[in-house]
Amino acid sequence: MPADPKLDRAQRRRMRNAERRLKEAQQRLVRAERSVVYWTRMLADLRFERTCAIQPPLWPEEDLKMEK
């Protein structure tokens, strides 16, 4: 059965299109994962800042003055 060059061209075109779409989807996935990591860190930093801002001193100031 002879190979039809039209079919081969169409199949190659579909293959290139599918490969391009796959590459684009993988790039979107990588960007989304980076975004999740970035915002997770930002949220952790903000929570840590809030904890530090309201945390009472670990020991009274009088003890620090006596050491000096």
Kindly report, residue by residue over 21-40, the tens digit of the pLDDT. Answer: 999 999 999 999 999 999 99
> What is the model's pTM?
0.58
Confidence of residue 65 (pLDDT cuts 50, 70, 90): low
- Distance between alpha carbon 10 and the CA centroid of its chain, in Å? 37
Q: Return the closest-CA partner of residue 37 out of 27, 26, 45, 47.
A: 45
Give the structural domain span for 25. 5-67
The total domain count for the chain is 1
Q: Which amino acid is at 7?
A: L
